[in-house]
Structure formats: C-alpha cells, structure tokens
Amino acid sequence: MADAHQLSQETHDRLAAEFEDLTTRGRIDIARKIETARELGDLSENGDYHAAKEEQGKMEGRILHLESILQKAEIVELSTGSVDVVAPGTIVAVVYEGDDEPERMLVGSIEEQREDVLVVSPRSPLGASLLGSAVGDTVSFEAPSGMLAVRVVAIER
C-alpha cells in the first residue's frame, strides 16, 4: 500500500468509532438542527440555518477524511520492548544542530497525535530521514530554509 496510513490498533479503533458515530448519530443530529432552523422562517437571513449548514459541511468533510484513512489503513504493531532504530510508531528524541535541548516527536500519522509529543509524518523530509536511524546517528534533511541536521538521542515506543 503506497498511500497507506500507518496506524496503531488503538488509533484505528478510535477513528472507526468516530466514523460510525458521525455517520449515524451525527447526521441525524445535524438534520434535526437544520429542520428546526428552517422552521424559523426566511432562510436568506436565518443565522441558525446557515450555522447548521456550515456544521454539516464540516462534519461531512471529516467523514470523508476518516473514510479515506480507514480504507487505506495499515495497522502497525507497536512492541513494548526496546527499540534499536526509528520506525513508524516510535517516539524519537532529537537535538537540532546548534541546539542543546532535545525535542521528542512521534514518527507517524497525525491521527496518532498526543499532547506530550510532536507528530512527524514518515513521508515528510524529517520523518523520512529519521526512519532506520539509531541512537547517536546524525541525519540531514531539506527544510524550506535549507539543509538541517538532527542527532538522534533516544528512541522509544
């Protein structure tokens, strides 16, 4: 799967539940809001109607996005043991060249986002350069401002 979305089983299940909720309860709720707003009269000046239609558009966009992710999902098994190299689903601590403070980031899908780490796509220049690297390796990647280098200081699951 060239365009596969690599997800943990936990994230896949969470997205599938969200998809199910939006396509059932969500659509019913928004249809009720639109119907209630229509009953208020002239639609051209009906703020409630326009707000409900905008909410419906955003929800349908999210449904399409989730459907695409779930159709292309590849479940990545995350082991709890030690990790020798950066792979999708790993958390890596890196230090940018010329900096002292390490930054922790998860190499994976934005859908795996957590509060305590940044998320870097494995398809991004930084993510792609980190894949396969080990603690102590320095990798370079092309950023909009030019070439940057980072040193891998820790890898964890």
Nearest to 88 by CA among 13, 155, 17: 155
C-alpha separations of 80 from 83, 134, 156, 157 in Å:
9, 17, 9, 6
pLDDT digits (tens, 9 = 90+) for 22-81: 999 999 999 999 999 888 888 888 888 999 999 999 999 999 999 999 999 988 776 555
Q: Out of 1.10.287.180, 1.10.1200.10, 1.20.950.20, 3.10.180.10, which CATH number does the structure's domain 5-75 have? A: 1.10.287.180
CATH 3.10.50.30 fits domain 91-156: yes
| Angle made by CA atoms 38, 41, 46, in degrees to the nearest 5 | 75
Residues of the chain with CATH 3.10.50.30: 91-156
Among 4-8, 18-22, 129-133, the least confident range: 4-8
- Predicted model pTM: 0.72
pLDDT digits (tens, 9 = 90+) for 85-140: 998 888 999 999 989 899 999 988 888 888 888 999 888 999 999 999 999 999 99
Tell me 44's DSSP state. G
C-alpha separations of 113 from 7, 52, 94, 116, 121 in Å:
11, 28, 18, 9, 11
Amino acid 1: pLDDT: 45
